[in-house]
Structure 1
Amino acid sequence: MPFTIKLNTERYTAHLAFSSLVTNAIMLSLLAKKDPQGELINKCDGNIKAAFATLAADKLFSIHHVHEVNSHAHTARRFNTIYREFPLIYTEGMKDWGIKIIGIGKAPHFEIEALEESA
């Protein structure tokens, strides 16, 4: 069943869509390989879709930010080349995609400073 998910972490924000090609079996298999201790599933309170989306988004953000790739299309092509065991990330014209990047970027950074009390 297709679904979309929005993730907000301290490092990034991501909005991803998943096609019906991404089944629970695929998600569980990749989580078992990439996170054998089950930390992601625990952090997501047992939600397999959220844990898998976090796993994929972490890898996408690394490509997008660390490697300074500027476009979603370039990020998708690079991901598809590096992470062949994952479902394909959508690129223009693709029909058999598993994941589509709706948005991804650095998390907003802000600081709050206390103002001195005026006398």
Structure 2
Amino acid sequence: MAFSIKLNTERYTAHLAFSSLVTNAIMLNSLAKKDPTGELIDKCDGNIKAAFATLTADKLFSIHQIHEVNSHVHTARRFNTIYRDFPLVFTDGMKDWGIKIIGIGQAPHFEIEALEESA
């Protein structure tokens, strides 16, 4: 059951693909370890795929921000080293990948300011 998902949060935007190696059991196991209270699943209205994708994207974006890694390949390698209990993120030539980064980046930042009325 391969799928892809686009996420838009206040911190980042992400587009990830998940191979058929990422089963519901793997997603639930990872969510149980990293979010034992089930808060993330509640925020995603019980959607396991969305919760797991959000958890994964949060980890990927944190690596991107903390380590100031600017390429998908370096982010994937660092993720695979740090989060060994997650499915592998695709790097060049990998056959048994579970997650593929299609795109990830910082959410656009904008502000709205009130202008003074002209007399």
Corresponding letter in the other structure for 1:30 = S
Deviation at 1:66, TM superposition (A): 1.4
What's the C-alpha RMSD, in Å, of the aligned pairs? 0.7
Spell out structure 1 runs of 4+ moving beyond 4 A. none
Measure, in 2, the Cα distance between the counterparts of 1:107 and 1:88: 25
Counterpart in the other structure of 1:11: 11
Measure, in 2, the Cα distance between the counterparts of 1:65 and 1:90: 19
Instruction: Determine helix, strand or coil for the equivalent of 1:87.
Output: coil
Corresponding letter in the other structure for 1:82 = I
Map residues 33-112 of structure 1 onto 2, 5 A cutoff.
33-112=33-112
- Taking structure 1 as the reference length, the TM-score comes to 0.98
Measure, in 2, the Cα distance between the counterparts of 1:36 and 1:17: 24
| Structure 1 unmatched ranges of 5 or more | none
Deviation at 1:114, TM superposition (A): 1.4
Count of equivalent residues: 119
Give deviations 1:74-117, integer Å, cap 9, x for gaps: 00001001100100000011110000000111110000011122
Measure, in 2, the Cα distance between the counterparts of 1:26 and 1:114: 49
Same amino acid, percent of matched pairs: 87
Counterpart in the other structure of 2:20: 20
Deviation at 1:65, TM superposition (A): 1.2
